[in-house]
Amino acid sequence: MNDDGDWSNNNISITSTISFIEKMMEKVMAGQDISFQEAQTLLSTREILTLARCANIITRKFNGDIVDIESLVNAKSGNCPEDCSFCAQSAFYDTGISKYSLLPTEKLVEQARNAKEGGSTSFCLVCAYRSPPDKDFEQLCESISQIKKRVGIEVNVSLGFMTFERALKLKRLGVKRYNHNLETAKSYFAQICQTHEYQDRVNTAKIVKEAGLELCCGGIIGMGESPSQRLELAFSLADLKPDEVPINILIPRAGTPLMFRNNLLTDDDIVKTIAVWRFIMPKTILKIAGGREFHLRDNGKYILQAGANGIISGGYLTTGGNKHNKDIEMIKEIGLKV
Ligand code: SF4
C-alpha cells in the first residue's frame, strides 16, 4: 500500500520498476551501455531482489559459473609515504600494524605454494610503496620468476605507480595482471588523499595496459562518498576497460582519519552497488575484496548471486578473512564453481 492507502497505484509502481530493471538488463545483454541516469534509477530502486536477479543473469551470461578466487600476500608492509586516509599502511598514521620490508624470495614462493594448495587460482603480491626502489623492484622480479618456475600459479602484482619500462619487464616475466585502484570518485578524491592526484592513478592504470598487462582497478566504497559518486567511480573504471574490478568496503581502521566514520553502508547498499556496477561493467571480473566478512558476515554468498564473480580468500593485507575451505564450501553451496 502506498502513503495514500492505494494498493493499485503501488502495484503499478512496483510493476513499472521491475519492468525498468528488466529492460535495462535486456539492454546490457544486447551489448549496449546504460547511461549514468539509468544507473542512478537502478541504484535508487527498492526492488533489490529483482535488481540482484537481473545482475546475476548478466553475470552468468558473460562470465559463466566460475568464481575467481585470489589470495593476497602483503609482501612489504607499512611505511608508505602516501596519506590515503583509509589505509592502515600509510606512514602518516599510527595504526599499530606489523611493518616490515620486502619479504625474501623463499618466503614468497612458500606462500604462493600454500595459496595454490588451498585452491586459489591466482596469487597477488602487494607492496606498500609509492613506487618500489630499484633494489626492491629487482628482488621482486626474481621472486616472481621463481614463483612462476617452481609453483606455477597465476601471478598478479600491486606495486604502486609504474613506469612503462617496469610494466614491460613484469609482462615479460609472466605477470598476468597489475592492480592499481582509483580508490574513489574523482570528485571525492581530494577528501581521501592529498599526496598524489587522481590523474596519477589513471596514468598508471593506462601504462600497465599499454605494456600488455591485464588491468585490475577498483576502489573502496563507504568512505563517505555519495551514491552518485559511487556510480561516478564505476563509470570512470568502465572507461579504463579493466579486466578485473576489486570492490572493497571500508573497514574504519583505528588510527586512520576514517576511524570514526560511523555511517557505514548497509547490506542493501552493498548489494545494490555491486548489482548496478554489474550493469555498468557486464564482462569484467567484479571481485568483492576487503570488508566482505566484516560487513556481510556469512552473507557473502548473496553478493555472488547479485553481480560479483570473484572473491579474495584467506585474509587481506592488514586484516584476517575466511579460510579458503570455508569460501570454497560457500561457492559450491550456491551451485557455482571455482
Ligand atoms: S598508496 Fe597504497 S599503500 Fe600507500 S597509503 Fe595509499 S593505499 Fe596505502
- The verdict on residue 165 lying in a domain is yes
- The verdict on residue 153 lying in a domain is yes
Q: What is the pLDDT of residue 304?
A: 93
Q: What is the pLDDT of residues 217-249, one digit of tens each?
A: 999 999 999 999 999 999 999 999 999 999 999
Percent of the chain with pLDDT over 70: 93
Least confident of 8-12, 274-278, 281-285: 8-12
Three-point CA angle 267, 59, 31, nearest 5°: 125
- The verdict on residue 16 lying in a domain is no
Domain count, the chain: 1
Paired with 304 in beta bridges are none
Q: What is the pLDDT of residue 327?
A: 78
When the pLDDT of each residue in the chain is averaged and rounded to a whole number, the result is: 89
Q: What is the pLDDT of residue 7?
A: 42
CATH of the domain at 254: 3.20.20.70
Ligand 1 atom with least separation from CA of 81:
4
Which residue lies with its CA nearest to atom 2 of ligand 1?
128
Ligand 1 atom with least separation from CA of 88:
8
Kindly state if the Cβ of 80 falls inside 6 Å of ligand 1.
yes
pLDDT bin (cut points 50, 70, 90) of residue 280 is very high
Q: What is the pLDDT of residue 336?
A: 85
Please tell me the distance from the alpha carbon of residue 150 to that of residue 42, in angstroms, as a whole number. Answer: 47
Q: What is the pLDDT of residues 63-121, one digit of tens each?
A: 999 898 887 788 899 999 999 999 999 999 989 888 899 999 999 999 999 888 877 77
- The verdict on residue 15 lying in a domain is no
pLDDT bin (cut points 50, 70, 90) of residue 314 is low
Ligand 1 atom with least separation from CA of 183:
7
Q: What is the pLDDT of residue 261?
A: 76
Which domain does 288 fall in, by range? 61-333
Q: What is the pLDDT of residue 5?
A: 40
Q: What is the pLDDT of residues 19-68, one digit of tens each?
A: 999 999 999 999 999 999 999 999 999 999 999 999 999 999 999 998 98
Kindly state if the Cβ of 90 falls inside 6 Å of ligand 1.
yes
Q: How far is CA 326 from the centre of its chain?
A: 20
Please tell me the distance from the alpha carbon of residue 28 to that of residue 287, in angstroms, as a whole number. Answer: 20
The C-alpha cell that represents 76 in the structure block: 612489504
CA of 87 relative to ligand 1 center, distance in Å: 6
- The verdict on residue 164 lying in a domain is yes
Does the pLDDT value for residue 138 go beyond 60? Answer: yes
User: Which of 80, 95, 100 to mutate to test ligand 1, by most ligand atoms within 8 A of the CB atom?
Assistant: 80
Percent of the chain with pLDDT over 90: 67
Q: What is the pLDDT of residue 10?
A: 55
Q: What is the pLDDT of residues 3-17, one digit of tens each?
A: 444 444 555 587 899
Buried b (16+ CB within 10 A) or exposed e, 273-294: bbbbbbbbbbebbbbbbbbbbb
pTM: 0.89
The neighbour count for residue 328, using CB atoms within 10 Å, is: 18
Kindly state if the Cβ of 182 falls inside 6 Å of ligand 1.
no
CA of 90 relative to ligand 1 center, distance in Å: 6
User: Which of 72, 76, 84 to mutate to test ligand 1, by most ligand atoms within 8 A of the CB atom?
Assistant: 84
- The verdict on residue 319 lying in a domain is yes
- The verdict on residue 18 lying in a domain is no
Does the pLDDT value for residue 1 go beyond 60? Answer: no
User: Which of 72, 74, 77, 82 to mutate to test ligand 1, by most ligand atoms within 8 A of the CB atom?
Assistant: 82
Which residue lies with its CA nearest to atom 3 of ligand 1?
128
Q: How far is CA 179 from the centre of its chain?
A: 9
- The verdict on residue 29 lying in a domain is no
